Chain A
Amino acid sequence: MYRDCLFFRCMAREDHGQPIFGCQFNNRLKPGEPKILATVGSNRVTIYECSSDGKLKVLQVFADPDTEETFYCCTWTEDGKGKSLLAAAGARGIIRIFSPAEAACVKHFLGHGNAVNDLIIHPSDHNLLLSASKDHSLRLWNILTEYCVAIFGGVEGHRDEVLAADIKITGSHIVSCGMDHSLKVWKLNKPELQKTINLSYTYNQRATRPFPTVKENFPEFSTRDIHRNYVDCTKWHGDFVFSKSCEHNIVCWKAGKTFQTWDEVNFSTTETTIILRLDITDCDIWFMRFSMDIKQNVLALGNVKGKCFVYDLSSTDPNQISHNVLTNQKCNAAIRQTAFSRDGNTLVFVCDDATIWRWDVTNNDTLPEDTS
């Protein structure tokens, strides 16, 4: 089994000593390119290379001049001309776009009225960036033309901090979750929104007059029945949604009845169907995020005690999902986020004590000794 082949390779400790809240692999690189990892914590953004010899090699370190800044999240994208871009944001609500090729912050976006908790890139349009904020709203940005396309929030929007969000692989829906115990699904393929997205590409700061940002006050679907506490992470899994709260488990659910499709679900739907629950121990603080590999076969979530639970989702029976626990004697701080490399062979997680842990799938006969 895949999850059994993971072995600890190395760790690294950043010198700021603050929690590292986010880590993301650059999964937009061509096959054959190195495995690039970014971590955010304190006022730092650090870029590593997961070298083939099992090490974490520091490439670049950026710091915000404002010591009040704490970066909470980051995500990779590209400029369409072959160069990678890294977006990061945090406590001050300013979204920064870094270009590793130029070793600089090339763009920034102002707009959120408070901290940004999560950043997501549209799966099929690398210029569209979705941000989830403490100001109770989500914003969709066009990075290329630096335009805020849409704001999701208001009348029926989140009532407290939005902690996480995800865009469906088809680009049709957004799922967001937050402190208000709710999960909301917003439609992204509405004609009005699509029109504004297209319009945003023609926008030119100097030449064109601004056009109105879409203000979406009403989600397509909203539920508070899945979790009974802050919902701090959510991801699409086909038509299902995985989400977690600080209640020691991850829930896989869908809106409506078991076999209703998303097209049949609308704002009047109140029903939800829970497909499965994955239990985890010691996971009762919020802002702990799980991640899945690109094929969505494996899901990894860390707990408060520094243990990482890896679930095998490839099983055909949702009641028979097996898991493995990755432990290391020296890893005992809360794991904030996990990340899989594109090939799925490297798992990295970051902890409250400013440490980064790398685990690899190894086919070597000589296995490292210190695995659990």
Chain B
Amino acid sequence: MGGSTGRSSRSSETVSGNNAVAAATRGSKIISITKAKAPPPVAVAASSTLVQPIDWKRRVRSEYFSILHQKRTRRQDEAKVAWKQNRISMSDSLAEEMMKWDKTTNTIWMCCLEVPPHSACMKRATITSWEMPSPQNCPIRVINAVTGTPTMYTWAPIQQNFMVEDETVLHNIPYMGDEVLDQDGTFIEELIKNYDGKVHGERDGDWIDDEVLVDLVKAMSTIEDEEKKKTKDRGRKNLFSNEVARRVKKNEESPEDQLQVIDVSDNEIHTIEEIRKEPEQGMIITTGAEIRTPRNKLPSMTVFKAISENFPDKGSATEIREKFIELYEKLEPSAGLPPECTPNIDGPNAESVPREQTMHSFHTLFCRRCFKYDCFLHRLKAYHPGPKMNRRNGLEFQPNKVCGLDCFLHLDEVKLKQLAQLVIDKDGDASNDARIRKIRKQVSQDSGNEASSEDSNDSTLVSRKSEPCSSGSGKKVKCHDSNGHNEKSSKNERRDSKDSTESIKSKDLTMDFLINSNSNSMMMGPSFMKEFQMDIYQGWSGAEQSLFRALHKVFLTNYCAISQMLMSKTCQEVYFFAQKEAADILLEESLKEFTPPRKKPNKKKNRLWSLHCRKIQLKRDGASNHVYNFTPCDHPGLPCDQNCNCIQAQNFCEKFCLCSSDCQNRFPGCRCKAQCNTKQCPCYLAVRECDPDLCEMCGAHEYDISKINCKNVCVQRGLYKHLLMAPSDVAGWGIFLKEYAQKNEFISEYCGEVITQDEADRRGKVYDKYMCSFLFNLNNDFVVDATRKGNKIRFANHSVSPNCYAKVMMVNGDHRIGIFAKRAIQPGEELFFDYRYGPTEQLKFVGIERETDLL
């Protein structure tokens, strides 16, 4: 209650200048309404000092009514002011408009009353009226006939499927025309039943919106606090509550005390108001502190339990508590963003934050299947697994030459390190350019493999250790003196320390230490940094610091490159900063889990691809006709066996799965040199489009479309034909081919909203009634609905002797519907396909065929 009252008084001050009067009326109104419906909450609070234990449920109820009434009164007062303001501004603008109109208008009434020459044979309209003794007559002028366009409801064009959530509440009852409703009275009933009786706008139970909920919880928390205080020093309280207590006692006797009309005389109003003000002011003061630590100020579970009992439709006590925390954070802007993401990563006010925080949006919003933010297809979390946290290897850009006169490579410090490395190095002549190049080549080869492991590439490790200190790789130097020298090793990359032959136990210890120290430093935060590293952090804005941390992960020790990206810092500055930062980065890194690395598929194994593939194909041929949606599997540490969701759904594992890349359930791709448009191609045979990451022989991986031999990439590359839309020769709108198409050539993808089978059942009910359906079965889990969103191919009509056919293909982990030419099609031909032969050969909607009859 406190919070809301505080807001109300603030807004009234800012808005109405004449609030002296308004405040007076408002004050009296609050009381008159409280009088009528609910007892003032303080009265109840006082009552509880006498009667124990406290009836929280009832108190919530009374508090709820009190809040509602306050809100209503406040709203009415505000509405009055707003109405007045609006009336004034509106009449001003209207007056202005009318003045302008009177001056400028020149329209006079001109009406052709001439009787046409053929009026004798014209039909006449008769207008009757009681006042007129004889009816009026007027010849009817029949206007020119215009042929209308076929029926079409607005749809949004898309070129890719779009997943939408189920609607469990009927949006609105569709109007089918009075005839339909008369014929089939049960239709609407059945429709509503499909939604479990839920239609928009039907309120059940007590209504409580977000704002009221927040106010209610706040009010209850104040009461709770008070309650605690009271139990502490109850002795002193006896004085003031005498009178109130008497009243409340009387009130207690009546069973429906919330609705009881309490007769409050004027004197008592004052006392009650004064009492009421106390907690309010207290609340206003506390809110400041609350903003920062809402969780600390949460009322106890008793309160939420009581609220939940009053509003069962709002969920359990825990749910309400969660909801409150969420709402509270939303309503209080300063408590806005979740702690893990940074409020602003750019601009002068950007904070200096760890890499994880900077990258938070990227990690949570970036779709790793579509390579874009907020992709509309893989909206469910399960469809795009998070980043593979394997450490990146390779891609280590070594600066092979100094970037300028002030390059950090000229620093004595760096040169010394290089020298030291040279001395340690056995080969001695590592400064040889050729040698460097050779090693770099080796590294880059490695980089092709996304995650080469520490244990599997021992050879690499050796070569790395012996790698000369190619310019700037300061860490390599320290690699060797890392053992024992703790302080220096903190500058070292964790990789190296892990590579070293330390025992597991000691590793764990280090880990513990790192975790502890990391959490310490996080707790200390910026102040810690300021105290100890003032000199280095000075001159680095928050944005620069954050960006450095993000870039450092990619460019490692290539400070020249980082400097180039930063643009505002020289590589020397970057170098010094990096030295200071190294400790922090190490800590951050250490917390990351190293997933078991995947081995690069053995070249030898590829020879067995055909065998493997044939085996899988056999398995699939034997399988039933059901096709399930693909969801990347994620079962760390376990192989893909019958517990793997891919195997259970009889799907191949795809590159998006978190299983190892040599998983037996992975589709190997094709090695065709031809066009991949016959059953010779294992991809084609498996009704899959060629995967650019698997099929390289056919050119599916080529960026430039003109270089692709493969004909089995049309859906993913969007190589659709030019289509023209026009009124159909058969019914409604039709779609026509502008250019020639060969047999089996790709025409277009059938795009639309991807909805669940359940949702499709609900929608289909209405579509069937309208006798117009754009539903298309995608697989056992999902249906494509092109009603609201789609592309032009949605206008292709049904035919029993069609010139096109539809095929659901697995395209990079997604099922997509391709429309292909059944025979050669001439330019200008209208396109048809047989709706009954959906990809899964399931006739979902009988209504489909009727569409042609109707349109």
Q: Could you say which interface size class chain A belongs to?
A: 35 or more
Task: Pick the residue among B130, B148, B151, B174 that contacts A110 (CB under 8 A).
Answer: B148
Judge if B789 is at the interface, Cβ distance under 8 Å.
yes
Contact B140 A61 (CB under 8 A): yes
Judge if A201 is at the interface, Cβ distance under 8 Å.
no
| Given known A60-B138, A227-B201, contact A33–B80 (CB-CB < 8 A) | no
| Given known A13-B129, A47-B111, A65-B143, contact A30–B87 (CB-CB < 8 A) | no
| Given known A10-B131, A82-B108, contact A61–B82 (CB-CB < 8 A) | no
Least CB distance from A276 to B in Å reads 7
Task: Pick the residue among A10, A33, A56, A111 that contacts B109 (CB under 8 A).
Answer: A33
Contact B155 A10 (CB under 8 A): no
Task: Point out the residues of chain B lying under 8 angstroms from A313, CB to CB.
Answer: 87
Contact B172 A179 (CB under 8 A): yes
- Complex CA gap A92/B143 in Å reads 14
- Complex CA gap A155/B140 in Å reads 43
Contact A103 B112 (CB under 8 A): yes
Task: Pick the residue among A82, A124, A135, A317 that contacts B152 (CB under 8 A).
Answer: A135
A259, closest chain B residue (CB): B15
Within 8 A of A (CB), among B68-88: 75-76, 78-84, 86-87
- Complex CA gap A31/B130 in Å reads 30
| Given known A60-B141, A259-B15, contact A237–B90 (CB-CB < 8 A) | yes
Contact A93 B107 (CB under 8 A): no
Interface of chain A: mostly helix, strand, loop or mixed? loop
| Given known A84-B110, A92-B148, contact A170–B93 (CB-CB < 8 A) | yes
Judge if B523 is at the interface, Cβ distance under 8 Å.
no
Contact with A along B127-155 (1 / 0, CB 8 A): 11111100011111111111011111111
B152, closest chain A residue (CB): A113
Task: Pick the residue among A154, A170, A258 that contacts B82 (CB under 8 A).
Answer: A258
Task: Pick the residue among A14, A63, A110, A316 that contacts B87 (CB under 8 A).
Answer: A316
Judge if A83 is at the interface, Cβ distance under 8 Å.
yes
Judge if B344 is at the interface, Cβ distance under 8 Å.
no
Task: Point out the residues of chain B lying under 8 angstroms from A240, CB to CB.
Answer: 83, 86
B124, closest chain A residue (CB): A61
Q: Kindly count the residue-residue contacts between A and B in the assembled complex, taking CB atoms under 8 Å apart.
A: 239
- Complex CA gap A238/B132 in Å reads 41
Judge if B171 is at the interface, Cβ distance under 8 Å.
yes
- Complex CA gap A10/B127 in Å reads 12
Contact A135 B93 (CB under 8 A): no
A154, closest chain B residue (CB): B156
Judge if B114 is at the interface, Cβ distance under 8 Å.
yes
Within 8 A of A (CB), among B27-73: none
- Complex CA gap A250/B197 in Å reads 27
Interface stretch of the complex, out of A157-165, A183-191, A203-211: A157-165
Interface stretch of the complex, out of A94-102, A142-150, A301-309, A332-340: A94-102
Judge if A294 is at the interface, Cβ distance under 8 Å.
yes
Judge if A46 is at the interface, Cβ distance under 8 Å.
yes
Interface stretch of the complex, out of B97-105, B307-315, B416-424, B690-698: B97-105
Task: Pick the residue among B82, B107, B126, B172 that contacts A83 (CB under 8 A).
Answer: B107
Within 8 A of B (CB), among A169-189: 169-170, 179-181
Judge if B649 is at the interface, Cβ distance under 8 Å.
no
| Given known A28-B105, A108-B146, A160-B174, contact A273–B79 (CB-CB < 8 A) | yes
- Complex CA gap A176/B76 in Å reads 26
Contact B111 A151 (CB under 8 A): no
- Complex CA gap A44/B172 in Å reads 32
Task: Point out the residues of chain A lying under 8 angstroms from B843, CB to CB.
Answer: none
Task: Point out the residues of chain B lying under 8 angstroms from A249, CB to CB.
Answer: none
| Given known A114-B152, A238-B87, contact A12–B105 (CB-CB < 8 A) | no
Contact B142 A65 (CB under 8 A): yes
Contact with B along A92-132 (1 / 0, CB 8 A): 11101010111111001011011000000001100000000
Contact B97 A239 (CB under 8 A): no
B105, closest chain A residue (CB): A30
Contact B91 A295 (CB under 8 A): yes
Judge if A78 is at the interface, Cβ distance under 8 Å.
yes
Contact A237 B172 (CB under 8 A): no
Contact A239 B76 (CB under 8 A): no
Judge if B125 is at the interface, Cβ distance under 8 Å.
yes
Least CB distance from B141 to A in Å reads 5
Judge if A136 is at the interface, Cβ distance under 8 Å.
yes
Task: Pick the residue among A44, A157, A181, A258 that contacts B79 (CB under 8 A).
Answer: A258
Task: Point out the residues of chain B lying under 8 angstroms from A275, CB to CB.
Answer: 79, 82-83
A156, closest chain B residue (CB): B156
Contact B80 A319 (CB under 8 A): yes
Task: Pick the residue among A11, A62, A230 that contacts B175 (CB under 8 A).
Answer: A230
Task: Pick the residue among B89, B125, B174 that contacts A58 (CB under 8 A).
Answer: B125
Task: Point out the residues of chain A lying under 8 angstroms from B130, CB to CB.
Answer: 10-11, 330
Contact B151 A14 (CB under 8 A): no
Judge if B9 is at the interface, Cβ distance under 8 Å.
no
| Given known A11-B129, A31-B102, A110-B149, contact A276–B156 (CB-CB < 8 A) | no
| Given known A238-B87, A273-B79, A318-B79, contact A159–B172 (CB-CB < 8 A) | yes
B126, closest chain A residue (CB): A15
Contact with B along A49-83 (1 / 0, CB 8 A): 00000011111111111100000000000100011
- Complex CA gap A113/B600 in Å reads 57
- Complex CA gap A47/B110 in Å reads 12
B79, closest chain A residue (CB): A275
Contact B172 A180 (CB under 8 A): yes
Task: Point out the residues of chain A lying under 8 angstroms from B138, CB to CB.
Answer: 46, 58-61
Task: Pick the residue among A10, A161, A239, A317 that contacts B86 (CB under 8 A).
Answer: A239
Within 8 A of B (CB), among A280-310: 294-296
Task: Point out the residues of chain A lying under 8 angstroms from B136, CB to CB.
Answer: 12, 57-58
- Complex CA gap A100/B105 in Å reads 18
Task: Point out the residues of chain B lying under 8 angstroms from A170, CB to CB.
Answer: 93
Task: Point out the residues of chain B lying under 8 angstroms from A124, CB to CB.
Answer: 97
Task: Pick the residue among A15, A46, A295 that contacts B128 (CB under 8 A).
Answer: A15
| Given known A15-B126, A30-B106, A181-B172, contact A63–B141 (CB-CB < 8 A) | yes
- Complex CA gap A94/B149 in Å reads 9
Contact B109 A26 (CB under 8 A): yes
- Complex CA gap A275/B76 in Å reads 8
Judge if A195 is at the interface, Cβ distance under 8 Å.
no
Task: Pick the residue among B127, B155, B174 that contacts A14 (CB under 8 A).
Answer: B127
- Complex CA gap A274/B72 in Å reads 11
Least CB distance from A287 to B in Å reads 10
Judge if A193 is at the interface, Cβ distance under 8 Å.
no
Task: Point out the residues of chain B lying under 8 angstroms from A294, CB to CB.
Answer: 94, 98
Task: Point out the residues of chain A lying under 8 angstroms from B125, CB to CB.
Answer: 14-16, 44, 46, 58, 61
Task: Point out the residues of chain B lying under 8 angstroms from A213, CB to CB.
Answer: none
A134, closest chain B residue (CB): B153
- Complex CA gap A192/B826 in Å reads 40
Contact B201 A104 (CB under 8 A): no
- Complex CA gap A100/B112 in Å reads 6
Least CB distance from A192 to B in Å reads 18
Contact B143 A296 (CB under 8 A): no
Judge if A361 is at the interface, Cβ distance under 8 Å.
no
- Complex CA gap A284/B700 in Å reads 62
**Residue of B75, B131, B132, B174 with most chain A CB atoms under a 10 A cut-off:** B131
Judge if B704 is at the interface, Cβ distance under 8 Å.
no
Within 8 A of A (CB), among B674-697: none
Task: Point out the residues of chain A lying under 8 angstroms from B154, CB to CB.
Answer: 113, 135-137, 151, 153-154, 157
Chain A to chain B contacts (Cβ below 8 Å), 10 pairs? A16-B125, A28-B105, A60-B112, A61-B139, A93-B149, A104-B143, A113-B154, A258-B75, A258-B79, A273-B75
Q: 10 closest A-B pairs (Cβ-Cβ)?
A: A228-B201, A238-B90, A113-B152, A103-B112, A105-B143, A154-B156, A137-B154, A101-B110, A153-B154, A318-B83
Q: Give 20 new A-B contacts, CB below 8 A, not counting A169-B97, A240-B86.
A: A11-B131, A29-B107, A33-B109, A58-B127, A60-B111, A63-B142, A93-B148, A94-B146, A100-B110, A103-B112, A103-B114, A113-B153, A123-B97, A179-B175, A238-B90, A258-B75, A258-B79, A275-B82, A296-B94, A317-B83
